[in-house]
Chains A and B, each alone.
Chain A
């Protein structure tokens, strides 16, 4: 197999990874890493470098459509980015020291948890919370558009949300993923933001979080241009197609199949990490 064939295979697989990531809502990163390591025998460090780059691309590329809807809260996003970027830099520094098999096992576990979290039904009913003094001081409260006009909301448990974001950022820097599922949990479950606000704000934060560790990976020589080129372009095309499909079709049944696929991949990552094949 020469570079031309290798590039073509990776490009086509990455389109599927981007599609799968978009349809499950988990993002391309969590699919790209197992695809490259388990499927194509690429070194884990190169795979993580590529995943980070494609995460930035999909997050930034999707921002326009998200922002137009008027859900995202830039103050919540910016405030929590302090936690995620700090976590990401820490995660990237740990990644340099940790053996790849440990990273592979952790990756599998996080993949299983993320799949579980994104499949859980979420609370769409707005709950009327009382205002939290800390949230008011930080100007985090906002409102979002509903069929009955602008619906205001009050942000809760700011310190706990911040702490979960530190962990989400560390996973992002350590594993090369967007940590979107964990970010949504921090905002939706812990801080009690409306679900739509959580997902759109999370998308906004993912790119910035990934950029914090991508710089470190680049400086360390983990980002291989020949490998990243087909991954990056493939994931972008796949994510774009996935977004189109999501608008048109009801994908509940498909999601179940995809979740099962991700579950198997997660188990395989853990197994390969334990046996030392990665």
Chain B
């Protein structure tokens, strides 16, 4: 084992999995808060999920979701939690770039960057 390796694979994986769990816990907490607000104001409405209309524009993109959440709208807060949840694996991949860079593993820095690029493309794609 080379002494220049500051992070072993095992250490990297444990750090990553803690990052994932923190992300999920935080996201779930935000979703619960949003759920309470949503049901408090909209609990008596009639659900219409059997008809597909698609979500309004403000619940499709990060800026709109932030605005809705800041305005303390239940659906906006839930969507913020879901956005955070989707970003958790992205953060995991981003952290892996750093970890492979620490190990001076050029091949896997490139491999990980390709995965990150596909993920970011998916997040920014519209329609």
Binding site for B on A (CB under 8 A): 1-4, 6-7, 40-43, 45-46, 53, 56-57, 59-61, 63-64, 66-68, 70, 72, 74-75, 78-79, 81-82, 85-86, 88-89, 92, 96, 138-139, 207-208, 210-216, 218-230, 232-233, 236
Do A78 and B112 have beta carbons less than 8 Å apart?
A: yes
- Find chain A residues with CB under 8 A from B115 CB: 78, 81-82, 85, 208
Which residues of chain B from 91 to 112 have a CB within 8 Å of any chain A CB? 92-93, 96, 105, 107-108, 111-112
- Find chain A residues with CB under 8 A from B90 CB: 211
Contact with A218, one of B27, B31, B86 (Cβ below 8 angstroms): B86
Q: Apart from A2-B45, A79-B108, A229-B78, what are 9 other A-B pairs with CB-CB below 8 Å?
A: A56-B89, A64-B17, A78-B93, A139-B105, A208-B92, A208-B93, A219-B61, A225-B55, A226-B42
CB distance from A136 to the nearest CB of B (A): 12
Chain A residue at minimum C-beta to C-beta distance from B78: A225
Q: Count B-side interface residues using an 8 Å CB cutoff.
A: 69
- Find chain B residues with CB under 8 A from A74 CB: 9, 12-13, 96
A-B pairs with the 5 shortest C-beta distances?
Answer: A221-B54, A215-B123, A225-B78, A221-B55, A43-B52
- Find chain B residues with CB under 8 A from A79 CB: 108, 111
16 contacts between A and B (CB under 8 A): A3-B45, A40-B49, A43-B49, A57-B24, A60-B23, A63-B17, A64-B17, A72-B13, A78-B108, A138-B107, A139-B107, A215-B123, A219-B61, A222-B54, A225-B75, A236-B24
- Find chain B residues with CB under 8 A from A138 CB: 107
In the assembled complex, the Cα of A72 lies from the Cα of B20 at a distance in Å of 15
Give the secondary structure class of B's interface.
Answer: helix
In the assembled complex, the Cα of A53 lies from the Cα of B32 at a distance in Å of 15
Give the secondary structure class of A's interface.
Answer: helix
- Find chain B residues with CB under 8 A from A219 CB: 60-61, 123-127
CB distance from B65 to the nearest CB of A (A): 9
Do B59 and A6 have beta carbons less than 8 Å apart?
A: no
Known contacts: A207-B20, A211-B86. The answer to whether A229 contacts B122 by CB under 8 A is no
